[in-house]
Amino acid sequence: MKLNRRLFMGATAAAAASMAAPMVLAAGHGKPRVVVVGGGAGGATAARYIAKDSKGEIDVTLIEPTRMYYTCFFSNLYLGGFRDLASIGHSYGTLAAEYGINVVHDWAIGVDRDTKTVALAGGSSLPYDRLILSPGIDFVDGAVPGWDLSAQNKMPHAYKAGSQSELLKAQIMAMPQGGTFAMVAPPNPYRCPPGPYERVSMVAHLLKHVNPTAKILVADPKEAFSKQGLFEEGWNTHYSGMIERIGPDFGGGNVEVRPDTMELVIDGEVNKVDVCNVIPAMKAGRIVDAAAINDGNWAPVIAHTMQSKMDENIHVLGDSSAQGDMPKSGFSANSQAKVCANAVRGALTGSKVFPAKFSNTCWSLIDTDDGVKVGANYEATDKKIAKTDGSVSQTGEDAALRKTTYEESVGWYAGISADMFG
């Protein structure tokens, strides 16, 4: 029977129950085949866990256009001068050589859900028994008037790391003394809730050393943001007088940019700026639309397995998924990938499936050794991934605790990189 959308959405609890007594779905064509689209925090982790734990019982193909994945996590630390670019770049060689994953450097451009095949930009197509989509984010067209991808060289987003991060850093270094760095912050929901504000901190840290009379201007459509009290305390302590944030009450949500003249218009007032970091509103990576498993900007999933609510043969991980309470972060994507890998293996080989549990911590660096964090644990319910408990750094903490928090983040970075790429 082919599941239609309504039937499958109503089958959430049944799907979860079926994970307890898994069915071997792939029969008649040799080993079951898993295709993973996107070799980032979600996709690389899922591919590695399925390959590692199935010990050759499942064929795993990973489709990823880039040869080198630059993590967005710690890309702000690169801007601040705490990391070099090479230290946040990772290749796929170990996944191919040691885990037997078929790494295909190409774009997935279409999904035929009837024939269960993925079409690649290079012209070929790949069959799957289970498809895992973890394509990260794309930007909502027209979200910031005056900005589109053709303007990203003049006004970088640097919200996909790599060349955009390098460009933004070069522009900051080339600012005239006393110049202005501007940021257009994104509306909710977006990847890495503290990311723009950690970036403000890291840019301030850099400017304090190379351009101490420079100013930072942030236009923000949100009333409030992640770890706001902690960031504002840190900005007062370390970067007093340098940062001005204009929230929605003062027109921070009513912006237009003019890349040719380097102008940022906030609520009708024209600001001439030297660097303009535009972070537009976000949506799921475009392949989610192509698969037609989106509901609006994101792809709804069943919390127990990360299966699409619209197609039981497709799982969606990380930023692209609409899953409930978890923030869109690398930690979350990695955590979801392990739940998904376990469910996929169970469904395809009959291996034991454990109840889904998730966790996340987002660390941010405000200045040298001044690290803060917010974290939580989550469980799968029939409605969503639901938060069970959480914790956050406090204002006024002593320097030793802040240093320990930063050091934790360095350990986490090494751990998640190894968990993704082997």
Ligand X SMILES: Cc1cc2nc3c(=O)[nH]c(=O)nc-3n(C[C@H](O)[C@H](O)[C@H](O)COP(=O)(O)OP(=O)(O)OC[C@H]3O[C@@H](n4cnc5c(N)ncnc54)[C@H](O)[C@@H]3O)c2cc1C
Binding site for ligand X (CB under 6 A): 37-43, 63-66, 69, 72-73, 75-76, 107-108, 134-136, 159, 191-192, 195, 199, 285, 287, 317-320, 328-331, 333, 362-363
Nearer to ligand X, 47 or 349 (CB): 47
* CB of 358 vs ligand X, minimal distance in Å: 13
* CB of 298 vs ligand X, minimal distance in Å: 11
* CB of 14 vs ligand X, minimal distance in Å: 27
Nearer to ligand X, 70 or 349 (CB): 70
Residue 354 tokens, joined: 């454990």
Nearer to ligand X, 12 or 364 (CB): 364
Please count the other Cβ atoms lying within 10 Å of the Cβ belonging to residue 143.
Answer: 18
Sign, Cα dihedral of 172, 190, 148, 86: positive
Give dist(CA 414, CA 96) in Å, integer.
20
* CB of 271 vs ligand X, minimal distance in Å: 23
Nearest Cα to Cα of residue 317 among 290, 299, 293, 304: 299
Nearer to ligand X, 61 or 349 (CB): 61
Q: Which residue, judged by CB position, is nearest to ligand X in the bound state?
A: 40
Cβ contact 378:388 at 8 Å: yes
Give dist(CA 32, CA 122) in Å, integer.
24
Nearer to ligand X, 32 or 330 (CB): 330
Task: For strands 180-184 and 215-219, give the pairing.
Answer: parallel
**3-class SS at 183?**
strand
Nearer to ligand X, 181 or 331 (CB): 331
Cβ contact 326:360 at 8 Å: yes
* CB of 347 vs ligand X, minimal distance in Å: 21
* CB of 280 vs ligand X, minimal distance in Å: 12
* CB of 316 vs ligand X, minimal distance in Å: 9
What does the buried/exposed string (b/e) look like for 338-366 if buried means 16 or more CB atoms within 10 Å of the residue's CB?
A: bbbbbbbbbbbbeeebeebebebbbbbbb
Nearer to ligand X, 75 or 405 (CB): 75
